[in-house]
Amino acid sequence: MRRFEWRLQKLLDLKNKQEEALRAELISVTEQAVGLRGQILMERALLRQRLTETERMPAAKRMARQEFVLQFSQVTETAIREMDRKLELLELLRRNKIQEILTVRRFRKGLEKLRTRAQEEFELDQQRQDQKQADDRNTIGFARRMMQPL
């Protein structure tokens, strides 16, 4: 019996590997975005903490400290805005990766359906050929018995 061989199998394998690679890239980008988001939240929390600490200080110490904290907060806010911009870029990249994965997945699913259909046709054809061979053997055997003298 012949073995099923599909001509597009290499393409299907390639698409599987491509989807896995894209998925790994998506995970990497997502991890970067999560890390950056955590860093932004931590910086904002530290800034709020410094401001509340300054508010609780006695009036004499507060003025000098408040000036320093406000100057520092401007630098921190600039850094936070820069991180927000990087986060937006990462989110855009993440959405693009998701779209690429969905495109490759649709293509791969279509190939898998084609492969399944081709395999079913192959098996049906094999069954027909096997049945035809069995019918031919039976017909030849019957004809030989009919031709033999009694």
C-beta separation of 2 from 126 below 8 A: yes
Q: Per-residue confidence of the chain (150 residues) as pLDDT tens digits?
A: 678 888 999 999 999 999 999 999 999 999 999 999 999 999 999 989 988 888 888 877 777 788 788 888 899 999 999 999 999 999 999 999 999 999 999 999 999 999 999 999 999 999 999 999 999 999 999 888 888 876
C-beta separation of 37 from 89 below 8 A: no
Which pLDDT does position 57 carry in this prediction?
82
Which pLDDT does position 45 carry in this prediction?
94
Taking residue 54's Cβ as centre, other Cβ atoms within 10 Å add up to 19
Task: Compute the Cα dihedral for 133, 136, 142, 148 and give only its sign.
Answer: negative
CA 149 to chain centre: 74
What is the C-alpha separation between 84 and 73, in angstroms, rounded? 16
